[in-house]
Amino acid sequence: MDAMCCNPIVIAMQHMIICEERVEVIKKILYGLIGCFVFLIVGLIAGLIVGSFIGGNFMMDFEFAGVMGYEATGLIGAMIGGPMGAIAGIMIGVSFASRSAGNR
């Protein structure tokens, strides 16, 4: 049996390295979820505003889901802006967690 595998200092250091890796993964997941939620709300609101602007000025006769004009295009804008914001939030959150991990 190798003497290194039974050394308590080596075992403690290996455990510490594993714990640091777990912390980094948990940090990336947490930052990704927070970014997802925040940018989902931002994307919904921005999509609703942009869609309503387009519908109110250019597509007044457009009908979707039983509503017309700016209400219809506002719904479509929110349905497009929400997922786009969530995806962007995940990417930004994970990259922020990765970047802050290197600054220790």
* pLDDT given at position 1: 46
pLDDT band at 4 (very low <50, low <70, confident <90, very high): low
The two three-digit tokens of residue 67, written as one number: 């509503």
Residue type, 93: G
Q: Which residues contact 35 (CB under 8 A, 6 or more apart)?
A: 89, 90, 91, 92, 93, 94, 96
Q: How many CB atoms lie within 10 A of CB 3?
A: 7
Residue 6: phi and psi, rounded to 5, are -100, -5
What mean pLDDT is predicted for residues 65-76? Answer: 93
- The pLDDT confidence band at residue 5, using thresholds 50, 70 and 90, is low
Q: Give me 37's structure tokens.
A: 């939620």
Asked if 89 and 37 touch (Cβ cutoff 8 Å), the reply is yes
Q: Return the pLDDT at 84.
A: 97
pLDDT at 47 over 70: yes
Judge contact between 75 and 67, C-beta under 8 A.
yes
> pLDDT value at position 68?
92
pLDDT-derived band at 55 (thresholds 50, 70, 90) equals very high
Count of Cβ atoms closer than 10 Å to residue 89 Cβ: 23
Whole-prediction pTM: 0.76
